[in-house]
């Protein structure tokens, strides 16, 4: 590679300068231009939303400042790819593109295929670097843990000291504007959302490791407490404002620092951080499933579950998506998620379980709309978790969440419910819980009665799922799924 020739850093889900192999490689060229493309076809896809664009806009804003401090500029292009690159080449004759691999849905995959074909025709070198611990063309799951451990233990890349291009190119790039909500077809979110940029990611990681993590294990199941006790790094990992390797190494370093501390708080901190570190491994485990079998966007991993009958009643879907099912915990979680883009893992699982098992909505029906709610949307995790909670993978325990139990376990005073369902503000916790568990026929003002009965719907769903799972076809297919997608990480008790 001739480093005297111009290069571009194609920014995708790696909105950071530190520990970024793509920008590091581009910076070795005499001229390197950072490029983000506002792909209106991608932002117009059914899984995209204003919550996600809000995160990208904030991250790009700070990133532009960091690039300018290094003598460079961020160029924001509009259009589809590779046409936008073709147009750019008329004014900036780059010969190399550096980017991070991306595991996304089929429109992102097709876009990447088009860019690769275009680069070959143009004689442009395209180098793609691995995303975290996701392994492209992984020959066997048996090898994954060793590769993941090797990547996470490797030294982090420092942010480049310089990124510069020709003055005319710098001037042209400086005139380009960040993506707007209007051009992408969105309305700006009303709520103040979590700040997403590289400096915020660093602060959030530090506050978690040194303060908030002590309550991590005890608090992450509660939709209210998880906002403080959870790491709150999911949105940063989703958009790449911090690398997974940085988080893993910082977690291990802090565990080493407190190893000899025998205080009760240190013991709680160690237990929580070990649990957190295992979840970081699971992060890439689920992304790897979509990487290895991209068809799972359209069909259940286990072929025996592909013909499950679903009613897909539009009225029930609307009730679920708008938070008016008459099940307080479901509705509060959905309304909170819709407004803020964040919800803890257990409650996300409960919402999918409710949709598929209680309301008889297919996982395919909810897949894209549910993605739009997530500020921390990462396709690999989302598709994998949607199928897993819908019970169509065939190798996991079938879980049908009881929304009333989740309420009594994780919001017994109903503070979270009343925060997000104003119709219930004037009712006591006892009244709300009685309504949730079906012990009272009393009306709760304007709040609706449950659209379905948990006991009846869960009984039917459990029967269908277990009968399918017990069949010969499902058992045979489960072995294939386990061989290709099963974790090789031993659980630690």
Q: What is the DSSP annotation of 389-454?
A: HHT-SSSS------HHHHHHHH-TT-HHHHHH-GGGTTS-HHHHHHHHHT-----BTTBPPPSS-H
Distance from C-alpha of 158 to C-alpha of 161, rounded to nearest angstrom: 9
Block mean pLDDT (10 aa), the chain, length 493: 92 99 98 98 98 98 98 97 97 97 96 98 98 90 90 98 93 96 95 93 98 95 97 98 98 96 93 96 93 96 94 98 98 98 98 98 99 98 97 92 98 98 97 89 86 96 95 90 75 47
Structure tokens at 237: 């990992």
**Where are the chain's structural domains?**
7-129, 198-286, 303-485
34 close to 67: Cβ distance less than 8 angstroms:
yes
Structure tokens at 193: 């959302």
Phi, psi of 484 (to 5 degrees): -85, -35
pLDDT attached to residue 140: 82
- DSSP at 158: P
* Residue among 486, 491, 293 nearest 395 (CA): 486
Helix, strand, coil: what percent of the chain each, to 5?
55, 5, 40
Measure Cα distances from 479 to 299, 390, 483 in Å.
17, 19, 6
User: What class does CATH assign to 7-129?
Assistant: alpha beta
Distance from C-alpha of 481 to C-alpha of 395, rounded to nearest angstrom: 7
**Cβ neighbours of residue 459 under 8 Å, at least 6 residues apart?**
none
| CATH number for the domain formed by residue range(s) 303-485 | 1.10.579.10
User: Residues 409, 414, 418, 419: what is their CA dihedral angle, to the nearest 10 degrees?
Assistant: -70
């Amino acid at each position: 590679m001739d480093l005297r020739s111009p290069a571009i850093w194609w920014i995708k889900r790696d909105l950071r300068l530190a520990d970024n192999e793509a920008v590091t490689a581009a910076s070795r060229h005499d001229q390197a231009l950072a490029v983000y493309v506002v792909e209106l076809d991608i932002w117009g896809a059914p899984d995209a939303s204003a919550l996600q664009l809000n995160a990208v806009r904030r991250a790009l804003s700070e990133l532009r400042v960091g690039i300018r401090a290094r003598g460079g500029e961020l160029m924001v292009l509009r259009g589809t790819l590779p046409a936008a690159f073709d147009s750019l080449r008329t004014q900036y004759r780059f010969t190399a593109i550096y980017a991070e691999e991306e595991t996304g849905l089929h429109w992102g995959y097709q876009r990447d295929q088009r860019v690769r074909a275009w680069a070959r025709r143009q004689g442009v070198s395209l180098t793609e670097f691995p995303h975290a611990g996701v392994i492209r063309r992984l020959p066997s799951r048996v090898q994954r843990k060793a590769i993941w451990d090797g990547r996470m233990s490797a030294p982090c890349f420092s942010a480049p000291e310089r990124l510069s291009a020709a003055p005319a190119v710098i001037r042209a790039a400086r005139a380009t504007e960040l993506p707007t909500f209007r051009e992408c077809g969105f309305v700006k979110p009303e709520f103040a959302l979590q700040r997403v940029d590289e400096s915020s990611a660093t602060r959030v990681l530090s506050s978690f490791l040194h303060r908030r993590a002590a309550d991590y294990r005890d608090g992450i199941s509660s939709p209210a407490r998880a906002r403080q006790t959870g790491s709150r790094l999911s949105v940063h990992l989703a958009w790449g404002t911090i690398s997974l390797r940085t988080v893993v190494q910082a977690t291990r370093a802090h565990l080493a620092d407190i190893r000899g501390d025998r205080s009760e708080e240190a013991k709680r901190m160690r237990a929580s951080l070990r649990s957190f570190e295992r979840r970081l491994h699971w992060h890439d485990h689920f992304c790897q499933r979509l990487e290895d079998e991209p068809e799972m966007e359209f069909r259940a991993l286990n072929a025996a579950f592909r013909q499950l009958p679903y009613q897909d009643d539009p009225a029930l879907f609307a009730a679920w998506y708008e938070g008016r099912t008459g099940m307080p915990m479901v509705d509060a979680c959905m309304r909170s998620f819709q407004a803020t883009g964040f919800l803890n893992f257990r409650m996300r699982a409960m919402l999918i379980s409710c949709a598929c098992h209680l309301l008889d909505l297919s996982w395919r029906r909810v897949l894209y709309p549910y993605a739009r709610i997530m500020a921390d949307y990462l396709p690999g995790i989302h598709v994998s978790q949607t199928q897993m909670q819908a019970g169509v993978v065939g190798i996991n325990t079938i879980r049908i969440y009881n929304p009333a139990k989740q309420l009594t376990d994780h919001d017994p005073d109903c503070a979270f419910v009343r925060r997000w369902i104003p119709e219930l503000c004037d009712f006591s916790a006892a009244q709300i819980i009685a309504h949730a568990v079906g012990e009272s026929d009393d009306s709760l003002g304007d709040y609706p009665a449950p659209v379905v009965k948990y006991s009846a719907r869960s009984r039917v769903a459990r029967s269908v799922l277990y009968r399918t799972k017990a069949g010969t076809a499902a058992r045979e297919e489960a072995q294939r799924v386990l061989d290709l997608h099963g974790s090789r990480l031993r659980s630690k008790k």
